[in-house]
Amino acid sequence: MIQDKLAGIFMRKEAKSKKISHSAYIVIGLQKKMHRKGIATYFFRKLDQWAKEQHIKRLELTVITQNTGAIALYKKAGFEIEGTKKNAIFQNGVYQDEYYMSKILS
C-alpha cells in the first residue's frame, strides 16, 4: 500500500507435493502508474528474505515474451530464462509465448 492505495499484488502458488515444496511459483502485478518508483525492486528484496525464511530454494514465474520491461526487471532481480511456453496466452485475439523464468536461492 502506498498512501492507502494498492500498488500491486503478489501471490504464491503452494506446492502440493513434498518433493517440490522447496519451490514457489509467484505471480506479480504492479499498477502501471507505480512503475519505475523502486517498488518492484523493494518487493524482490523482501521476496528473497521471505523465501529464505520459508526454506524456499527455487522461485519461478512466467512472463509474456514481449514484456521486455518486466523481463529486464526479473533479470535484475536474479531470474534467468529457462525456456519458452509456445502459445501459452490467448490475449486480444492473439496467441502469445511466455518465458519460464527461475531464480535459485543459496
Q: Rg (Cα) of the chain, in Å, rounded?
A: 14
Measured distance CA(74)–CA(82) in Å, rounded = 13
List domains and CATH numbers for the chain: 8-104 (3.40.630.30)
**42-69: pLDDT as tens digits:** 888 988 999 999 899 999 999 999 999 9
Which three cell numbers, joined as nine digits, stand for 59? Answer: 522461485
Model pLDDT for residues 4-25, shown as the tens digit of each residue: 555 556 666 766 788 888 998 9
Q: Residue 1's pLDDT band (boundaries 50, 70, 90)?
A: very low
pLDDT at residue 75, rounded to an integer: 97
Q: Do 30 and 40 touch, CB atoms closer than 8 A? A: yes
